[in-house]
């Protein structure tokens, strides 16, 4: 019996093959190719890191003011102190008196002269030659030294198998047509260069990842992603899905009944996107459409029409939302629209009691439930649909890629797949749509319903809190309602934020003539629903809440929102929150209250939100700050997919990769397979979501 060996630290990082090590590219570089005397180092070392060397003449451990090791080195002319606040016995041994050290770091004025604090240290002979290339610094996990990674990478680059793994197989003619003045190196040369750039390399271009060697790697990675997406797009068209054409007898259809019962007319934008979705549903391959629209633009009614179309053809429709409160809002709205039309609606969430959950699951499996609304409980193993024709996934970026795949796979059989409609109030920036969402058809509701007024956003210091409360009282006296949003439920000693509970108590005392409600994530679903119902009915005038009200709450009479500690929120979150007001005919205001001191980034964010209400502009800013992971939900999948590409910096490369992908798919099927295997391996499945 053989015992399984524990993985090495490098294997835990996924660096388990020469190819994986070759693609573990440096995050930055250190220049160890120049050596200065200590005197030269002292004069240059206050402007950046320098390298010098000398003989250890003293090594002492001091205990005041705290435990530290002070090492003194000297050359023929000068001395330099090295200070270590954290050190191991092995380091004491390495830097013992008589050792010759080569050190690199910044020099500063210390208590006893010039010093380096925690420099990079190597024990060398006085005449040890300098490296001829820049020294790479790699992304690393705790406990893995740069020395271990560098040795492993150097060994991997010498491995004979790497020549085949990094073989040049993109057609020269294609590359020449796409890039007539192409100065990019071959792939293996590019990767070797990035690991071992010469001393005279353009370090700025390397650090900014605009060097031709980086461009070659980025193009290859983007090409793999585009090929995978385009193949998924083609594969979807080969699958069978139920075709939902317009019902013949319009007057007696569920769709016609819904349109007739609505207390408003669809806007031009809603009619346009419904026409696009209706056309998709008429095809015999599954729809994969993203419906975008700013908060309050009316996406839900379009989703309801799609559900009605599916039910008119005898199929079930499901609506899945990421939070219980949002799912609940959909349930209440759909119930209001569909129950008078005789539609049987099932509600399914994790908080349901066992009996209610079992009954809901039985009605879904038997087909009695025509419309099913719930949270991610809809994609759990014990849920089985009788005849699901449409899945609507709201705030789709909040579901991980695996979860979106799961509903697609769960609802399909050998013969049929259901249509999918994703909805998002977080606009997808163009570069993100071109890369991660290339298999999605996108519809945009770019028009707010008539009567909606723009929301005025004000930025106020927390020190003016009493003024804000006084203004709030005047607001409530007009018969309008308001939200007061807090970021935390319980006191955190670290953040020292005003809590929802504290704010609720303070505002209840400050506004004795008005009813104040409290809602947060830890309330039970029925308690939350009761508070929200009371707020909607104007039995509660002021709702103190955590971010559970970020999406899905629709109270037209609530026209004021105060967001405490707005500096703690991101672009998208504030934009979503303030979209809860501005839903009625009254002038609406969102007050962003912030605590000082304010960082430059937070100041810029609040200023942008004060001036800009366009969700697409805000999404672009959000993308530049946070990267694609959070906007995609890719963090939940554990794979952000693009390791070397920055969607904003490298946007021009995306179109080149798209053109190359089209040509390869059309003419070079053998190359396509090799390229995908090299760059994605098993990760390619994520791009089908």
CB 305 within 8 A of CB 449: no
pLDDT at 403: 47
- Mark whether 286 and 390 lie in a shared domain: yes
- Mark whether 386 and 495 lie in a shared domain: no
pLDDT at 231: 84
Positive or negative: CA dihedral 203, 204, 208, 213: negative
User: Within 10 Å of residue 74's Cβ, how many Cβ atoms?
Assistant: 14
pLDDT at 689: 44
632 occurs within a structural domain? no
Q: Could you tell me the CATH number of the domain that includes residue 338?
A: 3.40.50.300
- Mark whether 408 and 301 lie in a shared domain: yes
pLDDT at 159: 93
- Mark whether 310 and 437 lie in a shared domain: yes
Q: Average pLDDT by consecutive 10-residue portion of the chain (689 residues)?
A: 73 87 91 90 82 95 88 93 89 93 91 89 92 88 84 94 89 83 87 93 90 94 87 82 78 86 89 95 90 81 95 93 79 90 91 86 92 84 84 67 49 69 75 65 79 81 91 91 77 51 89 90 76 89 77 75 86 77 81 86 84 69 56 39 78 87 90 86 51
* Pairwise CA distance, residues 393 & 318, whole Å: 8
200's CB contacts (< 8 A; 6+ apart) are: none
* Pairwise CA distance, residues 314 & 304, whole Å: 15
Q: What is the DSSP letter of 45?
A: G
> What is the extent of the structural domain holding 576?
455-612
Q: Could you tell me the CATH number of the domain that includes residue 103?
A: 2.40.50.140
**Which among 503, 502, 505, 516 has a CA at the least distance from the CA of 473?**
516
pLDDT at 275: 95
- Mark whether 275 and 399 lie in a shared domain: yes
pLDDT at 625: 58
pLDDT at 305: 96
238 occurs within a structural domain? no
Using DSSP's 3-state secondary structure scheme, residue 527 falls into: helix
- Mark whether 258 and 284 lie in a shared domain: yes
- Mark whether 425 and 475 lie in a shared domain: no
- Mark whether 396 and 335 lie in a shared domain: yes
- Mark whether 404 and 535 lie in a shared domain: no
379 occurs within a structural domain? yes
How many domains does the structure of the chain reveal?
3
242 occurs within a structural domain? no
- Mark whether 495 and 558 lie in a shared domain: yes
pLDDT at 22: 93
CB 273 within 8 A of CB 297: no
pLDDT at 338: 94
Task: Order across the sheet with 542-545: list the strands.
Answer: 455-461, 588-594, 558-563, 481-485, 542-545, 516-519
- Mark whether 559 and 584 lie in a shared domain: yes
pLDDT at 398: 47
482 occurs within a structural domain? yes
**Which among 89, 101, 99, 110 has a CA at the least distance from the CA of 45?**
110
Which residue, 80, 108, 130, sits at the end of a domain? Answer: 130
pLDDT at 451: 65
Instruction: Give residue for tokens 């707010």.
Output: 448
* pTM of the entire predicted model: 0.65
Which residue, 445, 480, 506, sits at the end of a domain? Answer: 445
173 occurs within a structural domain? no
150 occurs within a structural domain? no
337 occurs within a structural domain? yes
- Mark whether 482 and 599 lie in a shared domain: yes
Which residue, 612, 646, 678, sits at the end of a domain? Answer: 612
């Amino acid at each position: 019996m053989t015992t399984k060996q524990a993985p090495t630290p490098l294997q835990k990082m996924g660096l388990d093959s020469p190819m994986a090590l070759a693609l573990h590219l440096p995050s930055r570089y250190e220049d160890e190719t120049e050596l200065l005397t200590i005197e030269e180092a002292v004069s240059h070392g206050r402007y950046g890191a320098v390298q010098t060397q000398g003989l250890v003449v003293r090594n002492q451990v001091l205990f005041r003011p705290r435990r530290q090791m002070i090492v003194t080195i000297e050359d023929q002319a000068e001395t330099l102190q090295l200070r270590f606040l954290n050190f191991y016995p092995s380091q004491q041994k390495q830097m013992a008196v008589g050792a010759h050290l080569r050190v690199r770091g910044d020099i500063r004025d210390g208590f006893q002269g010039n010093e380096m604090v925690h420099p990079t240290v190597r024990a060398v002979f006085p005449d040890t030659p300098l490296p001829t290339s820049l020294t790479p610094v790699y992304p690393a996990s705790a406990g893995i030294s740069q020395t271990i990674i560098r040795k492993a990478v150097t060994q991997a680059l010498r491995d004979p198998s790497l020549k085949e793994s990094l073989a040049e197989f993109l057609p020269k003619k294609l590359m020449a047509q796409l890039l007539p003045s192409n100065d990019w190196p071959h792939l293996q040369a590019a990767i070797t260069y990035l690991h071992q750039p010469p001393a005279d390399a353009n370090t700025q271009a390397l650090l900014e990842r605009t060097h031709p060697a980086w461009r070659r790697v980025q193009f290859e990675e983007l090409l793999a992603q585009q090929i995978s997406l385009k193949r998924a797009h083609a594969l979807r068209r080969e699958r069978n899905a139920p075709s939902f054409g317009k019902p013949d007898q319009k007057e007696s259809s569920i769709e016609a009944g819904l349109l007739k019962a609505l207390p408003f007319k669809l806007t031009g934008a809603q009619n346009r996107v419904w026409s696009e979705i209706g056309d998709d549903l008429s095809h015999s391959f599954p729809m994969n459409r993203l419906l975008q629209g700013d908060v309050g633009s009316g996406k839900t009614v379009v989703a309801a029409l799609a559900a009605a179309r599916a039910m008119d053809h005898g199929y079930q429709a499901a609506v899945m939302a990421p939070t219980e409160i949002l799912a609940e809002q959909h349930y209440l709205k759909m119930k209001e629209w569909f129950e008078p039309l005789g539609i049987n609606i099932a509600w399914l969430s994790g908080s349901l009691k066992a009996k209610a959950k079992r009954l809901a699951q039985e009605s879904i499996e038997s087909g009695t439930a025509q419309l099913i609304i719930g949270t991610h409980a809809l994609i759990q193993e014990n849920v089985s649909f009788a005849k699901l024709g449409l899945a609507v996934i709201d705030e789709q970026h909040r579901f991980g890629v695996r979860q979106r795949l799961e509903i697609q796979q769960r609802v399909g059989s050998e013969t049929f797949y259901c249509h999918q409609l994703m909805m998002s109030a977080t606009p997808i920036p163009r570069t993100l749509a071109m890369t991660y969402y290339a298999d999605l058809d996108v519809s945009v509701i770019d028009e707010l319903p008539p009567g909606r007024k723009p929301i005025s956003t004000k930025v106020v210091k927390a020190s003016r809190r009493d003024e804000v409360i006084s203004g709030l009282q005047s607001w409530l006296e007009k018969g309008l309602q308001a939200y007061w949003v807090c970021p935390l439920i319980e006191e955190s000693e670290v953040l020292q934020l005003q809590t929802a509970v504290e704010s609720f108590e303070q505002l209840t005392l400050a506004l004795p003539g008005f009813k104040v409600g409290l809602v947060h994530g830890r309330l039970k679903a029925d308690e939350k629903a009761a508070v929200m119902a009371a707020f909607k009915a104007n039995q509660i005038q002021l709702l103190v809440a955590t971010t559970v009200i970020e999406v899905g709450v629709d109270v037209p009479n609530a026209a004021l929102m105060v967001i405490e500690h707005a500096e703690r929120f991101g672009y998208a979150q504030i934009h979503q929150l303030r979209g809860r007001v501005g839903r009625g005919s009254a002038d609406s205001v969102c007050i962003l209250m912030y605590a000082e001191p304010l960082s430059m980034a937070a100041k810029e964010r609040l200023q942008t939100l004060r001036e800009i209400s366009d969700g697409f502009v805000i999404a672009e800013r959000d993308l530049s700050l946070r990267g694609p992971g959070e906007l995609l939900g890719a963090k939940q999948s554990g794979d952000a997919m693009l390791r070397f590409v920055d969607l904003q910096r490298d946007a021009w490369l995306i179109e080149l990769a798209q053109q190359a992908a089209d040509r390869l798919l059309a003419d070079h099927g053998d190359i396509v397979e090799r390229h995908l295997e090299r760059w994605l391996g098993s990760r390619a499945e994520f791009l089908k979501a």
